[in-house]
A and B are shown apart, each in its own frame.
Chain A
Amino acid sequence: MTQTQTQESPALPRAGRNVGKPIDRVDGKAKTTGAARFSAEYPYPGLAHAALVHATVGRGRIAGIDVTAAAAVPGVLTVITHLNAPPMKPPPPVSLLNLESLASATTVNYLNTDEVHWHGQPVGVVVAATLDAAVEAAALVRVSYEELPARVDFAAAEGRAKPQKGNALQPGESRKGDAEAALAAAPVSVDLRYTTPPHNHNALEPHATTAAWDGDRLTVHEGAQNIAWVRGHLAHKFGVPAQNVRVISPYVGGAFGGKTMIWPGTILAVLAARVTGRPVRLALTREGVYRTVGGRTPSIQRVALGANEDGRLTSLIHTSITRVGAVGGGPEQVTSQSRHLYDAENIFVQQNLVKLDLLSNTVMRAPGESIGTYALETAVDELASKLGMDPIELRMRNEPERNPLDGKRFAHRMLREAYARGAERFGWADRTPEPGSMRDGRWLIGMGVASAYHPSWQFAANVTVRLSADGTVVVRCGFHEMGMGGATAHAQITADALGVPFEAVRVEYGDSDLPTGPGAGGSGQTASVAASLLTACDKLKRSVLALARRSSGSPLRGVRPSGVEARDGGLYQAGAAGRGEAYAAILARAGRTSVEAQVGSETRMGALAGQVRFMSKLMLDRRRWVKAACGAQFCEVRVDPDTGEVRVSRWVGVFDVGTVINAKTAASQLRGGIVMGIGMALSEATLVDPRHGRIMNPSLAEYHVPVHADIPPIDVSWLNEPDPTMPLGLIGVGEVSITGAAAAIANAVHHATGRRVRDLPITLDALM
C-alpha cells in the first residue's frame, strides 16, 4: 500500500463550520460499493453495442472496404462506413467568439469522408446485439488504402517548426530587453536543450458513451469534462436543437483533460444509435483510447539562463517546439511559468509548432506548465550547480515582487513561504550539496527541489440554489465530478454560506438539464462554481429576509440585510443571540414551500450576454493581476549504482493554493498530481513509430504509469492563505502539483549520480 500523510491545516481563513474540513466525499460510498453508475453502465431495453474499426495507415484514402465477413457474424446489426453513413455536419470552424467550436477534437467529419488523417482514425463502426459480436466483427472488416506520404516523425520535423500565433489569452511570444545579448554577456550561464515524449491519457474509466434517440431527442451518457460542449457539438453534428440533447454525466472515472474535447467515439456512438434506431453503447477499449483520444504533445525545449556571480539572473530564455495534428489540436503554453517565476532583467520566451499527420494533441493535466517546469526548473538547478549555490537560495535571490515581464501585481504569491516550510518538513539542511556524496548502503541518495506554478482560472457558471421549508437546500449546477470532490466542496460552501448543516445540502451536477456549469479545466471549476454559488446564496438570503421583513411576527422585521447573518439553519441578527428565526419558520409563515435564487441565464440571449459580461470581467481582471497557484516540490531518490534504477523514496510538497475547501479531497488532488509527475519523470512515454505514426504501446502493460511500488509516502500541505481576488480566496488545486515534479526528480537524480538527464523519461539506461 502507498502510505500517505495528510495534515489538517490550521488557522482557516473565514472559518466556517465546514469549509476547510476533511469531510468524506459525498459520492464515496456510491463509488466504493459499485452503486455509482458510469457511462457504460446504463441499461436500456434493446441496447446494442458498437465497436470501432481503426485505420491502419497514417495518411491516405480508403480504396475499398469489405464488410462481408463482419456482417455475417451472428448478432451484427450493421456495419457503418463512409459508404453508407448518413451525412453529418462537419465540425464548425474554430473561433474564440464561439467557445463551443473548441469542442471538436479534430476537423475530420468521421465516416463522411474517405480520407485518413491518422493511424487509428475510425473508418467504420460495427453495431451488434452483443459486445463480443461487435468486437469480433470489427476485427473482420477488411479495408484497403491508397496510401499517401505522412509526416509523423516529431524529431525529424524540428527544422520546420514555426512560431506560434498568440491570442488574447495566450501569447505565443514575449520579450523584455535583449535576452540573447544579456546571455552572451553573463558571467555565468547555461544554455540547454531538453526533450519530453508524448504522453497518453490513462484515466481509470476508458471513454464510453451510451446514446439513445427518441425521435429527434437524444440522451447521451458520457463521462465528460464539458457537458455543454458535448451537447452543443452533438446538436450541431446531427442537426437538432441543443435543447433536444440531454447529456448525463454524474460520475466520471478520471479525465485529466482527456474528456474535454469531443472525440470520435462519442459521435459514432450517437451515429450508430441513429442508424440502428436502438440505444447504443460504445465503450472504448484501452487501445481504443490511445487510437482515438489525443494526448500530451512531445516537446523540444531550450532554456538558457545568464546570471551574475551573485546568482541574480540577467537573462532568461525559454523556447519550445510542440506538435499539433494536421486535423486539430492546440499549442501548449510550455513557456507559461517562465514568464512569471524569475525576476530576470531580460526575458525571451517563444513557442513554436510543427504540424504532423497524427491525431490531434490535447490537454492533459497542466498542459504546458507540466513539461515547461521540467525544463525551466532543471535548468535553474544546473545554473545553481555552476554557481556553486544552493538551488533554493538561487530561487529566492530571483523571486520577483511583481510580474517580471510587465510589472503587473501578483494577486497572491507565497513561494518563499512554501520553500521555507518545505525545507523544514523535508530536512533540506541535512543535504550535502556535492553530487554522489550521500549513500545508504549500496543506494546513491539524491535530494532535489523545484518550483511548481500553475495559473488560476475562472469561468462562467450558472447556478440555482433552492431552500425548502423543511430546511434542506438543493444546489443545481451542471458542473463535472471526475473525482476531485466537487459535489462535496460545494455542499460545504453552501452549508456555510446559508448557515445550514452540511447534511442538509444536496448538490445536483453532471447533467445538461441543470443550469450550465463551467467546463472542468484549468483547475478553475471550483472557483468558478463557488463565485456563482456565493452570489446565489446571497440572493437567496435576501429573498428569505424580504419575506421575514414583511411579516409582522418575525423578529427580523425591518432588519437590514447588512445586519443579518446566516447560522443555525436560519437568519439571525448579527452578534445578537437568538434574534432571528429558522428558515423553516420564515417560509412557513409566508406560506412558501421553497425559495429559489438563480445566477446566470439559460436563454440564448441571456447566455450570450452572460458570456460577454464574463469575458470582459475576466480580461479586466487579467490586465490587473497575475494569478496563480505555486509551490515547492522536494524529493529524495535512490539510485542503484549498478543498474541505474531510480526509486523515489520521499516527497514533500508545500503549495500556495489559497483557501482549501476540503482538506481531504484537496490533499488527494495534490498527491495525485505528484504521482502523475513521477510517471512523467521516470516511466511514461507514448511510443509513436516514426515509420508510420502508429502508437505501439497502447496498453497499461507497456505504457508505464507508476504502480504502487513506485510511489513513496507523499507529504502534502498548503499555506492556506486566501487569494484576496478569488471567491472565498481559493485557487484551483487540480494541476499545480504535477508542475515541478519531474524537475525535482531530475535534480535529485543529478544530486545522487552527478548525471544530468535532459530527456524524459529518465530510464535506467541513461544512468548506467
Chain B
Amino acid sequence: MKAFSYLSAPDVATAVRAIADRPNAKFIGGGTNLVDLMREEIERPDTVIDITRLPLTEVEELPGGGVRIGALVRNSHLAANRLIRTRYPMLSQALLSGASGQLRNMATVGGNLLQRTRCLYFYDDAAACNKREPGSGCEAVGGFTRSHAVLGTSAACIATHPSDMCVALAALDATVVAESVRGERRIPISEFHLLPGERPDIETTLTADELITAVELPDVPVAATSRYRKVRDRASYAFALVSVAAALEVTGGTVSAVRLAMGGVAAKPWRAREAERLLLGGPADVESFRRAAATELAPAVAQPGNAFKIELAQRVIVATLAQLLAEGSAA
C-alpha cells in the first residue's frame, strides 16, 4: 500500500474544504472497500480524510412520510432500523444479504453507494482494464465473465455494480444528498451511477470534491410489501449473480403499484422501468410477470460465461413478484 497522509475532519464544512484543497484525496468511512482497493494498489490516494466523526449517523423521519438516512449510518444499523424494516423491507433485506456481519458493522451507507466493481480483471493489476487504466483495454471480454453485466454494457467495459443496497435504493427512487464547498446538491439515484460507455472509469456523477451526507427515501407506500431476492454461488458472503428488489400492490386483481430493480446485471443498479410500465394497470398474474420480465431483458447481451443470467434474471423477477402476490393475497 502506498504511504498516505491521514486527517480526521470534525465537521462537514472542514471535510469538504479539506478535500477541495487536496488533489488526490479520498474520504474514508467504514473503509471496507477503499482499504481493500488501496491494498490492491488500485486506489492510491495521497490523503485519506476520515469522516467517521461527522454527525451523519441518524435515521430520521421526514415530513411527508419519507426517511433521511445519514451517510455514516452503518449497514447493520440501517437494516435493523424499525422505519426501514416496516416501510422499506426490501432495503433491510438487501443490506442483510450483503457481505458479512463484520463488514456490515463497518460499512456505511455513503460508502456502499461508491462500491467499486468486483470484476476479476479490474482487481488484477496484471490485466488490461479500462476502468482501472483508461484506454488499456478490457481483458474481461473473452475471459471469465460469470459475474459480468448483460445490460447497459459497452465495448469498453462489461463490469457490474456489486451493491445490494443500491438496488433497493434504485427501486425506491432515493435521492443522494451531497455537499461540497459549492454547497449542497441533490442527485436522484437514477442519475447517480453511470453506465460505462467510453469511460468506465467514471462511475458516478459525484464530483471528486463532493461528500455524500445523506440518502433520502421518499414515501413509497407500496414498498411496505416488498422483497429483496439475491441469487449467488453460495448461501452467504458472495456477490449477486442476479438480485431483484420488488414491491407490488394489487387491487382487484390488477397491479396498482409496482417497483422493480435488478442487481448483478449492469454497471448500475438497474431500475426495470419497462417492466414496471407493462405491469402497472395490468393483471397481476404469473403470465404478465413473465411478459414484463422478458421485455425488460430483451435488450440484454450475454458474454459466453454469463448467458444464464438473462434467463435467471427473468425467473427471479417472476418468482419474487409471484411471492409478493401470494403474500399479498394471503394478508
Contact = CB atoms under 8 A, between A and B. Distances in A.
B3 interface: yes
Given A643-B315, A706-B234, 6 more contacts: A135-B1, A642-B319, A682-B234, A691-B142, A707-B235, A764-B312
The 10 A-B residue pairs whose C-beta atoms are closest, nearest first, are A709-B235, A765-B308, A709-B236, A56-B126, A642-B319, A696-B120, A710-B235, A642-B315, A707-B237, A707-B236
A702 B118 contact: yes
Nearest to B162: A701
B124 A764 contact: no
Interface in A688-709: 689, 691, 694, 696-697, 699, 701-702, 704, 706-709
A548 B113 CA distance: 80
B270 interface: no
B308 A689 contact: no
B253 interface: no
Interface in A87-124: 119
Contacts of A135: 1
A596 interface: no
Contact of A132 (B3, B121, B233): B3
Interface string A49-79: 0000000100000000000000000100000
A62 to B, nearest CB: 15
Contacts of B319: 642-643
A647 interface: yes
Given A132-B3, A764-B233, A702 B308 contact: no
A608 interface: no
Interface in A625-674: 642-643, 645, 647
A399 interface: no
B197 interface: no
Interface residues of B, number: 31
B316 A643 contact: yes
Given A136-B1, A136-B3, A707-B235, A691 B143 contact: yes
A696 B236 CA distance: 21
Given A642-B315, A701-B118, A764 B235 contact: no
Contact of A763 (B120, B233, B237, B315): B233
A642 B239 CA distance: 19
B120 A687 contact: yes
B284 to A, nearest CB: 18
B41 A139 contact: yes
A594 interface: no
Interface in B1-17: 1-3
A683 interface: yes
A768 B235 contact: no
Contact of B312 (A643, A682, A707): A643
Contacts of B316: 642-643
Contacts of A707: 234-237
A697 B120 contact: yes
Contacts of A696: 120-121, 124, 127, 143-144
A55 to B, nearest CB: 9
Most buried by A among B123, B235, B241: B235
Contacts of A687: 120, 144
Q: Per DSSP, are chain B's interface residues mostly helix, strand or loop, or mixed?
A: loop
A764 B234 contact: no
Interface in B187-241: 231, 233-239, 241
B311 interface: yes
Most buried by A among B142, B237, B238: B237
Contacts of B2: 136
Nearest to A647: B235
20 contacts: A132-B1, A139-B125, A642-B318, A643-B319, A645-B231, A689-B143, A689-B144, A691-B143, A696-B127, A696-B143, A701-B237, A702-B123, A704-B234, A707-B236, A709-B234, A709-B235, A710-B235, A764-B241, A764-B308, A768-B312
Contacts of A765: 308, 312
Q: Per DSSP, are chain A's interface residues mostly helix, strand or loop, or mixed?
A: loop
B41 A710 contact: no
Nearest to A689: B143
Contacts of B308: 764-765, 768
Contacts of B233: 683, 704, 763-764
Contacts of B142: 691
A56 B41 CA distance: 16
Given A643-B316, A709-B236, A764 B231 contact: yes
Contacts of A709: 234-237
A763 B242 CA distance: 14
Nearest to A56: B126
Interface string A421-458: 00000000000000000000000000000000000000
Interface of A: 56, 74, 119, 132, 135-136, 139, 642-643, 645, 647, 682-683, 687, 689, 691, 694, 696-697, 699, 701-702, 704, 706-710, 763-765, 768
A710 B121 CA distance: 27
A642 B321 CA distance: 13
Interface string B274-301: 0000000000000000000000000000
B83 to A, nearest CB: 27
Interface string B20-55: 000000000000000000000100000000000000
B2 to A, nearest CB: 6
A679 to B, nearest CB: 9
Contacts of B238: 704
A701 B124 CA distance: 13
A414 to B, nearest CB: 34
A708 B236 contact: yes
Interface string B92-136: 000000000000000000000000001011011111000000000
Contacts of A119: 126
A704 B123 CA distance: 16
Nearest to A131: B1
Nearest to B315: A642
A699 B234 CA distance: 15
A513 to B, nearest CB: 37
A146 B312 CA distance: 44
A643 B41 CA distance: 36
Contacts of B235: 647, 707, 709-710
A292 B126 CA distance: 16
Contacts of B126: 56, 119, 694
Given A139-B41, A647-B235, A683-B234, A694 B124 contact: yes
Contacts of A763: 233
Contacts of B241: 764
A374 B79 CA distance: 41
B142 to A, nearest CB: 7
A706 B237 CA distance: 9
Nearest to B238: A704
Contacts of B237: 701, 707, 709
A401 to B, nearest CB: 42
Contacts of B123: 699, 702
Contacts of A56: 126
A768 B121 contact: no
A135 B127 CA distance: 19
B311 A768 contact: yes
Contacts of A647: 235
A393 B237 CA distance: 40
A74 B3 CA distance: 10
Nearest to A132: B1
B159 to A, nearest CB: 14
Nearest to A763: B233
A683 B146 CA distance: 13
A425 B300 CA distance: 49
A708 B236 CA distance: 8
B287 to A, nearest CB: 16
Contacts of A643: 231, 312, 315-316, 319
B113 to A, nearest CB: 20
A119 B315 CA distance: 39
Nearest to B124: A696
